[in-house]
Amino acid sequence: MMNLAWRDIRHNALRFALTGFGIALLTSAAMMMNGVYRGIVSDALLLIDRIGADIWLVQGGTQGPFAEASSVRRNLVQRAEGVPGVAEARAYASVSRRIGVDGDLRQVSLLGLDYPMDAGVWLPLTEGRGLGAGHYELVADDSLGVAVGDILHVGHDDYTVVGLMHGMLESNGDPILGVSLQDLLTIRAWAPSEAVLLRREEAAASSRGIVSENMDPGAVAAVMLRLEPGADIAALHRVLSGWPDISVVTRDQQRDLLVNGRLERLRKQILLFTAILVVITGVVVTLIIYTMTLEKLHTIAMLKLIGAPNGVVVGMILQQAVLLGIGGTLLATAMSHLMAPVFPRRLFLLPADALLLQGIVLVTCLIGSTVGCMKALSVRAQDVLS
């Protein structure tokens, strides 16, 4: 059976190769889309997992700071440190900015490190060091294209790059820059002199002069708590939930809010596009196998005339479909890994995902070949005379 299938493939080598290449393109597109989703999820969970906080204290009535905006007073750190079972409390804040790098404007995410308690030693540093001073130093992701010792102008101050890290990206793909929390608050509050004058005039004209907490220049997005070994997280959660000005979110809840909340629509879109590509692959295979079967009707009738059973004919068609599926998926896997380094977003091409998609495409090829098999079975031996 394989001999007949192989002989027919060699006879239609160009068509078979082009069909396999088309399947590879469709499959590699599905693989890379799934890789994009995996990369986005990994980037979104990156800070939550690396920071390692057990509990996040966020603005009351919100689920921030990753799912929505949050603002709490910085003295919440001291309040939380006094709770039994809390080993460490740190402030968390981040802000997006566009900065100049080698004459180009680049979008970055600035992460506030609560120095000196947090000097960034938990960051995946590949070169240089963490923060050694409370001002005008930063660590940058190497995707920004800077080197240790470079000077970056952020806000109205210059910052020295003292360390490089790898793989620290925001969920939107922007590189993360770690600066001291005090510097971050200064950068966030910076405004042109005209805007400052207008703000002072508005404050002077206001009869009440009340500033909301959300506008507090010293406010942070959240406070992160690391618990002592053996601490009862449920009991701590109950105690902290009694504070009326905050909401308490655990690490697992933060992950769930991101994956099943903020990224839910993205996941559904990617799954839908992947399903569409698989269906298109099935349609292409069905049409190609059916066309190839039509071209072999006289040969199939001759095989039946000399006594070949239906299983030989069906086996030939099925083996061609299997070869198309295996060849196309193997080529798709190679193409995906070759294109991943130059892709504008980080791709996570997991072997398990590739095997699953390869199995789906192979089953799709087998299902698509049934139309050709049905046509082959309808051929009679006397049709050789037609």
DSSP codes of every residue in 96-129 = EEEEEETTEEEEEEEEEE-TTT--STTS-EEEE-
Question: HSE of 266 in the Cβ direction (CA atoms, 13 Å)?
Answer: 18
142-174 residues labelled b (16+ CB within 10 A) or e (exposed): bbbebeeebebebbeeebebbbbbebbbbbebb
Q: Is 238 exposed, middle or buried (0-12, 13-18, 19+ CB in 10 A)?
A: exposed
Tokens of 162: 């003292």
Average pLDDT over residues 110-127: 90
Residue 138 near residue 175 (C-beta atoms within 8 A): no
Residue 1's pLDDT is 41
- 304-326: per-residue pLDDT in tens? 778 778 887 788 788 878 888 88
Q: For the chain, how far is it from start to end, CA to CA, in angstroms?
A: 25
Provide the β-strand partners of residue 157: 154
Could you list the beta-strand ranges (E) of 221-341: 222-227, 246-250
* Every domain of the chain and the residues it spans: 2-43+265-385, 94-219
Report pLDDT for 170: 84
Beta pairing, strands 94-101 & 104-113: antiparallel
| DSSP code for 83 | S
> In Å, how far from its chain's centre is CA 217?
32
Q: pLDDT of 195-237, one tens digit each?
A: 556 655 565 655 554 444 444 667 899 999 999 998 888 888 8
Average pLDDT over residues 177-202: 76
